[in-house]
Amino acid sequence: MSTYAQDIQAAAKLCEAHGSSWDAINPESVARMRAQNKFKTGLDIARYTADIMRKDMEAYDKDTSKYTQSLGCWHGFIGQQKMISIKKHFEGNTDRRYLYLSGWMVAALRSEFGPLPDQSMHEKTAVAHLIEELYTFLRQADARELGGLFRELDAAREAGDSKAEKAIQDKIDNHVTHVVPIIADIDAGFGNAEATYLMAKQMIEAGACCIQIENQVSDEKQCGHQDGKVTVPHEDFLAKIRAVRYAFLELGVDNGVIVARTDSLGAGLTKQIAVTKVPGDLGDQYNAFLDCEEVAPADLANGDVIINRDGKLLRPKRLPSNLFQFRKGTGEARCILDSITSLQNGADLIWIETEKPHVRQIGAMMDEIRKQVPDAKLVYNNSPSFNWTLNFRQQVFDTWKEEGKDVSAYDRDNLMSAEYDDTELSAAADDKIRTFQADAAREAGIFHHLITLPTYHTAALSTDNLAKEYFGDKGMLGYVEGVQRKEIRQGIACVKHQNMAGSDMGDDHKEYFAGEAALKAAGKDNTMNQFG
């Protein structure tokens, strides 16, 4: 990677080659603009971030404390502010911290139809557009941060402070980008395998290095935490995994990452009986989970669907919806088979959507999966659909009861109550929540922890607090006390919202283009100067 000084020299040679007609082009300004636009295309981003994910996966295999994390972001600004915050609080380091793009939030917040349930009814292109938007905002964060360093550099030169000038040049040369991997949700592929391939291409071209796909029927898709989910036979799902892989390879993102999500734990239905040719093949294993009754030829009714297994005639239970039902209690076994099959056929990571965050439950399934695929790794949804407080208080209650500890002071069904907030049980539960990610990474093979919808909830909560105060008795103090004063004291970058929106970068460009004639916005009458 070239240094800032080398970039200036390269730009100077280019200008010289064009003679006097380029005399007004400042080589250093060229070098600055190039540094501020490191990534030229979405494919540049996808290749760069895919390499990051692969290195992180290798690091996790060696040391499970090196797990990765992300938060779901539904707007470019939200993703940008998250990464600015991470750099601020973690010494400029973005290692192992990603973005997550939730199909749920696209449906609820980004569809032209308005808010929609998580059923793949939103426009297909909305997902790719959000990926592009997120990376536009992250690249702008790079440009803004570097622009500030260039101003510091100019000030050091003007002051004749060579030591400060060198230190700032080092910061420019070693600048850490805000661009990080995005795990992007393609739902169930938005159609058949060809539709999945086309959609995946759009997402990759927008910058996605990692695509998550689930094994539900595309036109019956439901949120993983809702009822009514319908899965597809393995071969149908594998065709879509291959479609995504082909999309990565066609576009030259050879290190692209595929996350195969199974919703089988909470899905009791299938639309199809799998094709099977010999006993024990993949289709036969899928069908073995069906809820069937043995029948004799004389018992057959008009339109019955019959399976021949081991010389017996079996009639699968078919519902009025024309869907077939799985046997109760088979969810974990189906998840395990789904995961093994996906990893053996092109997926890199798996995602098991569970009904509660329980390390032992997840770990038990991973133990079975790793008997077949030793380096299997999970992406796990630390879902806001879980009642974390109640779940973990009940887990502690159950553990204490098993150990013979007196739990008579607690009502297990009412443990969410605030009356328990200051109890020993509550403190123990909160500690288990605090260490859940590290514990699950170590004991349950979770490489990546994400929260799907956190910024949906934080936006709602902060807006509720502001509306209550501003439209209530506090009036303007509600905003000043609850927002602006905290922004200033916590060093939130967007307190200078004009700067965040690119005003200073615009001034730089005006000066590059028009020199002394530039009409700049950052003069003495700019009210942003009140913030220092």
Q: Are 96 and 66 in contact (CB under 8 A)?
A: yes
In a 10 Å sphere around its CB, with 0-12 CB exposed, 13-18 middle and 19+ buried, how is residue 336 labelled?
buried
Distance CA 504, CA 512 (A): 13
Distance CA 311, CA 381 (A): 43
Q: Are 204 and 43 in contact (CB under 8 A)?
A: yes
Tokens found for residue 352? 């098991």
Quote the longest CA-to-CA distance of the chain.
Answer: 100
Please tell me which residue in 223, 292, 335, 494 is annotated as part of the active site.
223
- Cα angle vertex 335, ends 332, 338, to 5°? 150
Distance CA 120, CA 516 (A): 54
Q: Is 114 left (phi over 0), alpha (psi -120 to 50) or beta?
A: left
The SS3 call for residue 367 is: helix
Residues 6+ apart with CB under 8 A from 413: none
Helices (H) and strands (E) in the chain, counts: 20, 14
- Cα angle vertex 381, ends 346, 344, to 5°? 15
Distance CA 273, CA 287 (A): 6
Distance CA 179, CA 37 (A): 11
Cα distances (angstroms) measured from residue 48 to each of 42, 69, 365, 471: 10, 18, 33, 47
Report residue 379: phi and psi, to 5°. Answer: -100, 130
Return the half-sphere exposure (C-beta side, CA atoms, 13 A cut-off) of residue 483.
21
Does the annotation count 223 as an active-site position? yes
DSSP letter string over 160-205?
Answer: T-HHHHHHHHHHHHTPPPS---EEEE-TT-SSSHHHHHHHHHHHHH
DSSP letter string over 387-444?
Answer: -HHHHHHHHHHHHHHHTT---TT--GGGTTSGGGTTSHHHHHHHHHHHTHHHHHHHHS
Catalytic positions: 223
